[in-house]
Amino acid sequence: MTNDQLPMKRIFVISILLGGVFSGFSQDAKEIVKKADDLMQGITSQSEMEMTIVRPAWQRTVSFKSWGKGRDLSMTLITAPAKESGQSFLKLKNDMWSWNPTINRMIKLPPSMMSQGWMGSDYTNDDILKESSIVLDYTHKIIGGETVSGYDCYKIQLDPRENAAVVWGKIILWISKAEFYELKASYYDEDGKLVKTHVLSDIKFMHDRKIPTRFEIIPEDKPTQKTVVKILSARFNIPLQDSFFSQQNMKSLK
């Protein structure tokens, strides 16, 4: 073998090794995201939350209960303030409805409404109804590592799969390496412009696990406003029948 051939052989071997490393990173990235998602969702879940909408001249708080089973079934009930209490939201696979007892009306939500603010907040309909899946609807790759709130984190980029019905053009997640806490998320539009950032904190023990219980949602173009969501209680992997998630049950939730 000539001396000219030796460098080429080294480059070929290094390319194979690096290809294996990056391929492994891609596979690992999806598993990391799945573990973080499973930590927050469970097979089933039931929770009580409080959402405070902060604006320069005012703020208001909305309390609600939420139930979920996988990615296809979810239900949310407003419990306060009194004038909005009883409103409910339902997701059945790709179909979504809202029920307003004040006007006795059931409304089907079109996909175009998924990026709109839920109850006038910076929390979107897609956030509350979990219409898209960060595990199934995106590809994943580790793009670095950073420390967030004292936790050593993976920095992972999510890009939408072709034909996936998703709101975002790109998502960047910061997930702690040891605990798989999602501690920060940045959401970008289709043009690559940052739209909002989620900052998660207040790690607490809920039912059978430790999870972040405070979500601060900050819109990029409106730095003087934000929405803060707090998990007050949560239970995971509890018995929930598919029949619970029905339009009829939307009208009688308590």
Strands 59-69 and 73-80: antiparallel
Residue with tokens 């927050």: 40
Written as tens digits, the pLDDT of the chain (254 aa) is 555 554 544 443 444 344 444 434 445 999 999 999 999 989 999 999 999 999 999 999 999 999 999 888 999 999 999 999 999 999 888 788 999 999 999 999 887 777 788 888 998 877 766 656 899 899 999 999 999 999 999 999 999 999 887 889 999 999 999 999 999 999 999 999 999 999 999 999 999 999 999 999 999 999 899 999 999 999 999 999 999 999 999 999 98
Task: Compute how many other C-beta atoms are within 10 angstroms of the C-beta atom of residue 132.
Answer: 20
d(CA 3, CA 177): 44
Residue type, 193: K
d(CA 89, CA 78): 9
For 55, the token pair is 């604006």
pLDDT at residue 95, as a whole number: 85
Q: Report all structural domains of the chain as residue ranges with CATH numbers, in order of start.
A: 37-250 (2.50.20.10)
Residue linked to tokens 């979500």? 215
Task: State the Cα torsion 93-74-247-103 to the nearest 10°.
Answer: -120
Contact 180, 32 (CB under 8 A): yes
How far does Cα 97 stand from its chain's mean position?
A: 20
